[in-house]
């Protein structure tokens, strides 16, 4: 299936000359190709078959123990001007980066197959979609790209029509951590990744293209590429609103995307539809609203913690046609991870007899790769070419105190400031210190392909006549009481908070004005189905003016890292909130509209 596009053929010739593969395979994206790849990897021991009765067509891949996660410190943005990458990104000059990578790629595919993977991020006929070609020597990567993207002949046909694509070159190399780099060249729409087979480093359509390169493209072209889930909430009246939400890791993004309504709301007629759990591309439509697509075709989800309680929809889709990576295995060949159930696995993620003294059975970052179509709550509109209209944008983080359960931004600029202020508190398990705030604006800290100051300015640029922008909210599911326990039950009950948001979007719910934003009064939230003490709900919605003054002062310190490049409007918004707090005059009147 060679291409008719001269630019693609020339690039392939250059790569083949550099890497010296034994053979070249053009991927067509067919099921026959996918099955053949799987059979080859099973035969070579790169994949392991799981129980064919309980998990038909499911396989397990075990990574090299030193290659199990993203490597942010080795992930570079290579722009001509260092300031364009910003203080939020490691930077290397393009010429130096190309030289470093080409030296690694020289002869690296000798004896290996070079796979050419044309792919489309987004529905193949969507004007919001963008295409790329990944060249890789990893059959595991190709198999994952089959599930995660629209790849093969249809993507190649679109690439040949448009004449443009993102170039991604990947090799597992020697899997040597000392020879591992992921370089992004936004001005060239190019990616070079060497020395890792891990998903986020090797599936170049995912974080590398769909966020780091796409965020740069989006700023040039007037849209947004975001680390957000997309979920549809259908009311008992039959109206569906779509929400885009950004959360840092370990904050329940996938769980919210696949939320199952609590029993009382389910009986009332509430339904939830999953469009995507990780990445959202949004652009203004002809009607002035923001329309969004999920550029991915599958889920590359974290396995540990996924269970019938936390995410029954996710668990239901994983019993067939799934690639598991670095999970444990039971004695009868079923995948297992911590939080799944009470069984004791036979083998750990490295294939060794399980011994609790050696740590968790499944790697904490073990994964599943599965087609989105297998999700029971998969939206019938997930593949719509025009996308879905976004009614609300939600930001959130893991904060044990200070941030209330939910509040609404006063306007777009205030909402952008809330997104820029996002972050989560570390835990002792992660860092050795509890309660240390790690800023993660819009959950894009590891993924924004350019200077955060310019990124904030790009967000602010959407506040212009003619656009009907979504309302912006902030949530915190993780506030704790004095006893150290979570105050809010979370999981499916988060729909109670989303229901208030959607009522706000429809103009049907009042709110209380506070210096930090608009909040529901306790009786505005539907908690009838919960055994939630009044004192707990009051604590969840409490605003501490002194604590928020300290928060706004710390945010000012963070903003100062970006110098004069920071949009003045963002700093003025921070000062507006700080002045309202210092005046200590929260206005307890209902906010209309």
- Flag whether 193 is marked binding: no
Has 311 been labeled as part of a binding site? no
Tell whether residue 198 is among the known ligand binding residues: yes
492 in a labelled binding site: yes
**How far is the C-alpha of 415 from the C-alpha of 419, rounded, in Å?**
6
Q: Is 79 annotated as a binding residue?
A: no
> Is 401 known to sit in a ligand binding site?
no
Q: Is 494 annotated to bind ligand?
A: yes
Instruction: Tell whether 252 is in a known binding site.
Output: yes
Is 505 one of the annotated binding-site residues?
Answer: no
Alpha helices (runs of H) in 248-338, residue ranges in sequence order: 253-257, 263-268, 312-316
Q: CB–CB of 504/241 below 8 Å?
A: no
3-state secondary structure of 77: strand
Which among 296, 277, 108 has a CA at the least distance from the CA of 193?
Answer: 108
CA contacts within 13 A on the Cβ side of 303 = 29
461 known ligand binder: no
Active site residue 208: no
User: Do 514 and 547 touch, CB atoms closer than 8 A?
Assistant: no
Tokens of 590: 């209902």
Cα(309)–Cα(300) distance, integer angstroms: 20
250 is in an annotated binding site: yes
Helix, strand, coil share (%) of the chain residues, nearest 5? 35, 25, 45
Q: Is 70 annotated as a binding residue?
A: yes
Q: Which of 120, 131, 251, 448 is catalytic?
A: 251
Spatial CA neighbour of 217 closest among 27, 33, 448? 448
Closest by CA position to 119, among listed 140, 135, 95, 138: 135
Task: Locate all alpha helices (DSSP H) within 106-231, ordered by sequence.
Answer: 139-148, 153-162, 199-202, 214-221
Does residue 64 contact residue 190 with C-beta atoms inside 8 Å? no
535 is in an annotated binding site: no
**Torsion angle defined by CA atoms of residues 414, 415, 421 and 426, in that order, rounded to the nearest 10 degrees:** 140
The Cα 487–Cα 478 span in angstroms is: 8
Q: CA–CA separation, 593 vs 383, rounded Å?
A: 32
User: Please, are residues 213 and 107 in contact by the beta-carbon 8 Å criterion?
Assistant: no
- Is 24 exposed, middle or buried, given 0-12, 13-18 or 19+ CB atoms closer than 10 A? middle
206 touches 132 (CB < 8 A): no
Asked if 323 and 299 touch (Cβ cutoff 8 Å), the reply is: no
Is 493 assigned to a binding site?
A: yes
491 known ligand binder: yes
303 known ligand binder: no
Q: Residues at the annotated binding site?
A: 70, 198-200, 207, 227, 249-255, 278, 365-367, 398, 491-494
Looking at the annotation, which residues are catalytic? 251
Q: Residues at the annotated binding site for substrate?
A: 70, 198-200, 249, 365-367
């Amino acid at each position: 299936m060679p291409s008719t596009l001269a630019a693609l053929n020339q690039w392939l010739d250059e790569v083949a000359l550099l890497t010296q593969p034994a053979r070249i395979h053009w991927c067509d994206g067919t099921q026959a190709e996918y099955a053949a790849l799987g059979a080859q990897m099973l035969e070579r021991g790169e994949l392991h078959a799981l129980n064919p009765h309980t998990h038909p067509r499911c396989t397990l891949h075990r990574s090299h123990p030193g290659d199990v996660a993203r490597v942010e410190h080795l992930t570079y943005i290579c722009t001509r001007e260092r300031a364009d990458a910003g203080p939020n990104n490691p930077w290397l000059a393009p010429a130096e980066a190309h030289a470093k990578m080409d030296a690694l790629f020289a002869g690296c595919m000798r004896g290996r197959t070079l796979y050419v993977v044309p792919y489309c991020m987004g529905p193949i006929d969507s004007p919001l979609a963008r295409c790329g070609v990944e060249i890789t020597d990893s059959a595991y990567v190709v198999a994952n790209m089959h599930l995660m993207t629209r790849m093969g002949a249809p993507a190649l046909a679109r690439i040949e029509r448009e004449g443009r694509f993102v170039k991604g070159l990947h090799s597992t190399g020697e899997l040597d951590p000392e020879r591992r780099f992921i370089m992004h060249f936004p001005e060239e729409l190019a990616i070079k990744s060497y020395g890792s087979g891990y998903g986020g480093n090797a599936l170049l359509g995912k974080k590398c293209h769909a966020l780091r390169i796409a965020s740069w493209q989006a700023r040039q072209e007037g849209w947004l590429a975001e680390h957000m889930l997309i979920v549809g909430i259908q009311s008992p009246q039959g109206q569906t609103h779509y929400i885009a939400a950004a959360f840092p890791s370990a904050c329940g993004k996938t769980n919210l995307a696949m939320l199952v309504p609590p029993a009382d709301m389910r009986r009332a007629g509430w339904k939830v539809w999953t469009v995507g759990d990780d990445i959202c591309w949004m652009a203004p439509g002809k009607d002035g609203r923001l329309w969004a697509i999920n550029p991915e075709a599958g889920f590359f989800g974290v396995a540990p913690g996924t269970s019938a309680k936390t995410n029954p929809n996710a668990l239901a889709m994983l019993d067939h046609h799934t690639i598991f990576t670095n999970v444990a295995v039971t004695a009868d060949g079923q995948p297992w991870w911590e939080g799944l159930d009470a069984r004791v696995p036979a083998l750990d993620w490295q294939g060794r007899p399980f011994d609790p003294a050696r740590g968790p059975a499944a790697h904490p970052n073990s994964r599943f790769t599965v087609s989105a179509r297998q999700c029971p709550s998969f939206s019938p509109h997930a593949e719509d070419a025009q996308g879905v209209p976004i009614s609300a944008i939600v930001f959130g983080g893991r904060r044990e105190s200070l941030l209330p359960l939910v509040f609404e931004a006063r306007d777009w600029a205030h909402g952008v400031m809330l997104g820029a202020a996002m972050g989560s508190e570390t835990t002792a398990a992660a860092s050795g210190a509890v309660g240390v705030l790690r800023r993660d604006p819009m959950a894009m800290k590891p993924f924004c392909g350019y200077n955060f100051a310019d990124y904030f300015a790009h967000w602010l640029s959407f506040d212009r006549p003619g656009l009907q922008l979504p309302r912006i909210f902030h949530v915190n599911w993780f506030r704790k009481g004095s006893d150290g326990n979570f105050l809010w039950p979370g999981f499916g009950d988060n729909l109670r908070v989303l229901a208030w948001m959607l009522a706000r979007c429809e103009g049907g719910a009042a709110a209380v004005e506070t210096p930090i934003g608009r909040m529901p009064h306790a009786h505005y939230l539907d908690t009838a189905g919960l055994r939630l003490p009044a004192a707990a709900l009051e604590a969840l919605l409490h605003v501490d003016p002194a604590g928020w003054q300290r928060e706004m002062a710390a945010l000012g310190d963070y903003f100062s890292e970006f110098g004069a490049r920071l949009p003045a409007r963002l700093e003025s918004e921070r000062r507006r909130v700080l002045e309202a707090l210092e005046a200590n005059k929260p206005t307890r009147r209902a906010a209309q509209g």
